[in-house]
Amino acid sequence: MVKVLLWGTLRSAADGQAEVEVEAGTFKELLDELASRYPGLEPQIRRGVSLALDGKIYREAWFTEIGPDSEVVLMPYMTGG
Amino acid sequence: MALDAYQKREFKQVGTRPNRPDGVDKVTGRAMYGADATAPGMLHAKILRSPHAHARIVSIDTSAAEALAGVKAIVTAADFGVPEDDFLRDVQDHCMARGKVLYDGHAVAAVAATTIAAAKAALKLIKVEYETLPHVTDVDAAMKPGAPVVQAGRAYENVPAGMSENVTHHCEFGHGDLDAGFAKADRVVERHFKTAATHQGYIEPNACLASVTSDGKAELWVCTQGQYFYRTLCAALLGMEASQLRVTASEIGGGFGGKTMIYMEPVALALSKKAGRPVKLVLTRDEVFRATGPTVSSSMDVKIGMTKDGRITAAQARLCYSGGAFPNTTVDMGAQAAFAAYDLDAVQTLGWNVMTNRPKESAYRAPGAPLSIYAVESVVDELCQHFGLDPLAVRLLNAADKGTKSSYGPTFDQIGLKATLEAAQAHPHYTAPLGPNQGRGLSCGFWFNFGGNTCVSLNVNTDGTVGVTEGNPDIGGSRASISLMAAEELGIPYEKIRTIVADTSSLGYNDVTDGSRVTFAVGLATIKAARDAIRKMCSRAAKIWGIDEEAVEWVDGAAVPAGPNAGKFPPMTLAEIAAVSAETGGPIAGHYEVNADGAGVSFGVHLCDIEVDPETGATKVLRYTVFQDAGKAVHPSYVEGQMQGGAVQGIGWALNEEYIYGTDGRLQNAGFLDYRIPVASDLPMIDTVILEIPNPGHPYGVRGVGETGIVPPLAAIANAVSRAVGVRMTELPMSPPKLLKALEAKG
Amino acid sequence: MKTIHVSTTINGDPAEFICTPDETLLDVLRNRLGLTGAKEGCGTGDCGACSVTVNGRLVCSCLVLGAEAQDADISTIEGMADGDTLHPLQRAFIEHAALQCGICTPGILVAAKALLEKNPDPTDEELRYWLAGNLCRCTGYDKIIRAVQAAAAEMRGA
Ligand code: FES
Ligand code: FES
């Protein structure tokens, strides 16, 4: 199980939890699992999310491996100038 | 540890300052920019734009214009489909209004004619009947109940019920117990801030040359920060296959984020298709201001609690951004970046995006971050003033560091903020004496930085030279930096390498030049492509020597037998291996494709001294120093250039630049005379101090440097001005009339 | 519109063109003569990207009519180098990294050369005021000022 930290706006879609636990070994599995467990998260996942894994930000990268003790933070998809 | 991770090394070429490969072309006027290309039989296009801020288009009659001699094609929204995808539909609607015009300057029709004069004359003959609608251009006004609705039904699911329909997006970040935090403070300051929309102000107006042939093939020559993304968007809007549309990036005359989005390219393609001839479309400066680029405007509240010895106990920001007539999520970045520089137990940022009757926002260096950080750094400065504390010491006391849980969630790895603050503290600028009417300000800045999709191919020529092909337009000397990294890795002189920017048919997909990604991601891919070529060259040498591939290594630009057991052979240089490549298996090339991650966040600190003229309210910048972590400065001159350029854009934002709207909702200052960007006589030298704290995610330790530099100037200048005049300034720009008013109010 | 025939000298060579009475010198240079080194940043005299000299005087070519070029002596960026030998200003701009995107560079070089011909040893302040009509959005002007001063020093020594 990995713990995923959600940002404030997403919490209402996850029964008010700031942190949810899901069974996932990769970024992709995590997103799929989140979307199926909490359908309210689906619109934001479709708009795009980034993933901070132990402090490092990933924008896509489905197969990025997530260890059981990794710090996982969901973030909005990032763009720059 | 990943293969691309940072490894400490002695650099031979990286860190030097050779001449850039495109230098001579650019100082002799030979470099070809967007408006410099022509094609046989080319037509000229012009766009008819809305004089209204908000209106329904009742009808468009183009018959008289079509009858004019020399007119070859006219297009309106009717010539395009209606994309299903929200984002694509917004992009298209921004290029050509469909049903409603949403802002002053919104395109309603376009003409291609044999001369510019004929195209202009035709515009006058197009009859558009409008039914004007109430408009709103101010972010606060647009949030009020009963405000004119810019577009109905566009709010995301995350917007709380009961808000104005113009509010399309809401976000919240943070952690900890705010009430408990504020209760611990000796003083809590809450301030309201407002900033105007600004423009990237690139000197080259958007320009393109489109050519669509009757067999469905198309060429687009365009000044862009990302030819591949332009291809994706244009192909989708025109119903073309990507392979049939070749987009070539011209030399680009500035972008700063503003050329990451299409504005009129599909229109040029549609005109060319309809007319059966190439079409050139160059925007005027007026059009650039009215219909491309601008940033968000903002209305913000920031509340911070501090103990009397300078520890921040809680912090909260409420940010309302408006990015014009379409939904966007730039406020996400502003909200996440706002308190990134601080180690906080209790922090919350709330954000809303609000639609207004203004052009669609485009990215501008570190989009969203300069505003929220301006507000935060202003309140921190006010608290320092209140307690009589040293503002640098307070920032050091509260600075985020390795292991800090950041205000946006993740725990920071190695970051350079403390080192940057210490460098500023130790610098003579910080303690230099100030005169009357002068003030000193400082601010921290932050940006995330990205990697992204990147392809590089590297060809070893038979004469021992090397060609590098990459796919990101060179906006500020990146070809020089890429060549330097290739030279370093291959162990051959910089002069032996030539780096070019590929068109969309010559190389795989590359993300736009944004997020400060090029030196980081393209550099990384170049190093890996060079390693790929090196592996192949080692294998050729192994074959020639008749030894095992593993028994050969690459040292100083040559293959050498590794260790005593490999046999005794003199080194074979790159040139020697290349010369016999035909005989040993054919051409040698290395390539690498990646969606790069691990760009590493970046912090900067700016220090500035200003003087306010109490008679006129004019602010003069006297001294300015930028401190920023570059990870590793590949070509230090261009790293300095990024910092200096970003700082000066921020100075303009702080002091003069703003979109001014009349009560009629029309933009009143769509030109460089009235939209005043900094000129040489406004400025001192911009000193730079580059710190090099290696980014663990890049083989050479490189971090992006392009964006952070625009973040701190807003607050650095505002803090300096506020200290000089003795009034806290909370609105940008701090133009002379506003400063005079503040001085008068103070008495 | 009736066109006008104009005879002029551009970068030392005789040149002829026709233009309409309302056509700017910038448009003539770029669209009729293929001299696209001068850039159009604004078309209203505010950015200096179109700078050329007419009879030695620095002008914004977007504010000059093509017809005014009759019998004049015009210099553009294309004429600044002597064959393949760069002018010291051009060299200094490359060596001091005084350009990023380079769109402002032709105008700034032409303007700087015009200044140094009148004042070979300007102070930084004189230089900054002289170049105040040439906008650069990329560099913050720092390296431009340094490059011009370096070239000026070299030219005084030469
Ligand atoms: S184009 Fe002539 S001054 Fe801007
Ligand atoms: S170098 Fe880009 S405008 Fe000057």
Task: For residue B355, give the CATH number of its domain.
Answer: 3.30.365.10
Q: Is B706 contained in some domain? A: yes
Token output for C8:
């002029």
Q: If residue B121 lies in a helix (H) or strand (E), which one and from where to where?
A: helix B116-125
Domain presence at residue B186: no
pLDDT in the model for residue A80: 67
Q: Are residues B440 and B460 in the same domain?
A: no
- Do B407 and B480 fall within a single domain? no
The residues, any chain, with a CB within 8 Å of residue B677's CB and separated by 6 or more, are: B201, B649, B652, B656, B657, C135, C137
Mutational test site, ligand 2, from C50, C100, C143, C144, max ligand atoms within 8 Å of CB: C100
* Co-location of B493 and B583 in the same domain: yes
User: Is residue B23 domain-resident?
Assistant: no
Mean pLDDT value of segment B227-250: 97
Rounded mean pLDDT, B114-140: 98
Write down the residue that tokens 């004189």 correspond to.
C126
Is residue B164 assigned to a domain? Answer: no
Q: Residue B4 has what pLDDT?
A: 63
**Residue B417 and residue B342 share a domain:** yes
- Would you state the pLDDT for residue B1? 34
pLDDT > 60? residue B3: no
**Residue B16's pLDDT is what?**
96
Question: Which domains, from first to last, does chain C contain?
Answer: 4-79 (3.10.20.30), 88-157 (1.10.150.120)
Strand order in the sheet with B347-354: B167-175, B347-354, B312-322, B297-306, B187-195, B731-732
Same domain, B409 and B540: no
Tens of pLDDT, residue by residue over B526-560, are: 999 999 999 999 999 999 999 999 999 999 999 99
Please tell me whether residues B494 and B557 are part of one structural domain.
yes
Q: Is residue B614 part of a domain?
A: yes
Q: Do C20 and B475 touch (CB under 8 A)?
A: no
pTM, two decimal places: 0.96
- Write down which residue in B551, B567, B595 finishes a domain: B595
Number of domains in chain B: 3
Q: Which candidate from B35, B638, B678 shows the least CB-CB separation from C97? A: B638
User: Higher-confidence residue: B703 or B230?
Assistant: B230
Residues B285 and B317 grouped into a single domain: no
pLDDT at residue B565 in the model:
78
Range of the domain at B577: 452-595
Task: Report, as an integer, the average pLDDT of B169-174.
Answer: 96
Confidence band for B619, pLDDT divided at 50, 70 and 90 = very high
pLDDT digits (tens, 9 = 90+) for B397-443: 999 999 999 999 999 988 889 999 999 999 999 999 999 999 999 99
What is the Cα Rg of chain C in Å?
16
Position B2 confidence tier, pLDDT thresholds 50, 70, 90: very low
Cα pseudo-dihedral C19, C20, C23, C28, rounded to 10: -10
How far, in Å, CA of B680 to CA of B606, rounded? 20
Cis bond upstream, residue B733 (ω within 30):
yes
How would you write the pLDDT of chain C (158 residues) with one tens digit per residue? 689 999 999 999 999 999 999 999 999 999 999 999 999 999 999 999 999 999 999 999 999 999 999 999 999 999 999 999 999 999 999 999 999 999 999 999 999 999 999 999 999 999 999 999 999 999 999 999 999 999 999 999 97
List, in order of start, the domains of chain A with CATH numbers: 2-76 (3.10.20.30)
B521, B660: one domain: no
> B647-700 pLDDT, tens per residue?
999 999 999 999 999 999 999 999 999 999 999 999 999 999 999 999 888 899
Burial bucket for residue C157 (CB in 10 Å: 0-12, 13-18, 19+): exposed
SS (H, E, C) B191-233: EEEEECCCCCCCCCCCEEEEEECCCCCEEEEECCCCHHHHHHH
The rounded distance, in Å, linking the Cα atoms of B82 and B63 is 24
Tell me, yes or no, whether B143 lies in a domain.
Answer: no
One domain, residues B661 and B721: yes
* Together in a domain, B401 and B529: no
Q: What percentage of chain B reaches a pLDDT higher than 70?
A: 99
The two beta strands, A19-22 and A2-5, are antiparallel
Both tokens assigned to B368: 């969203």
Tell me: do B645 and B720 sit in the same domain: yes
For residues B434-454, average pLDDT: 94
| Ligand 1 center–CA C50 separation, angstroms | 5
End residue of a domain, out of B595, B621, B642: B595
B15 inside domain: no
Q: Is residue B268 part of a domain?
A: yes
The two structure tokens encoding residue B290: 């009215």
How many CA atoms lie within 13 Å of B625's alpha carbon, on the beta-carbon side? 20
pLDDT classification of B485: cutoffs 50, 70, 90:
very high
Which of B27, B285, B686 shows the shortest C-beta gap to C43? B285
User: Which atom number of ligand 2 is nearest to the Cα of residue B202?
Assistant: 3
Domain with residue B88: its CATH number is: 3.90.1170.50
H helices of chain C, in order, are: 25-27, 88-95, 105-118, 124-130, 142-157
The shortest C-alpha distance from C90 to chain B (Å) reads: 6
For B81-90, what is the mean pLDDT? 96
Ligand 2 site, residue C101, Cβ cutoff 6 A: yes
Q: How high is the mean pLDDT of chain B?
A: 96
* Predicted pLDDT at B600: 81
Q: Same structural domain for residues B235 and B93?
A: yes
Is the CB–ligand 1 distance for residue C78 below 6 Å? Answer: no
Q: Give tens-digit pLDDT for A30-71.
A: 999 999 999 999 888 888 888 899 888 888 788 989 988 899
User: Of B31, B117, B679, which is closest to C135 when you measure between CB atoms?
Assistant: B679
Cβ distance of B117 and C144 shorter than 8 Å: no
* Tokens linked to B308: 């009397």
pLDDT, greater one: B464 or B450: B464
Eight-class DSSP state of C96: T
Give B235's pLDDT tier (boundaries 50, 70, 90): very high
> Which residues fall within 8 angstroms of residue C81, CB to CB, at 6 or more apart?
B28, C87, C90
C113 to chain B, any CB pair closer than 8 A? The answer is no
- Residue C64 sits at the chain B interface (C-beta within 8 Å): no
pLDDT at B8 exceeding the cut of 90 = no
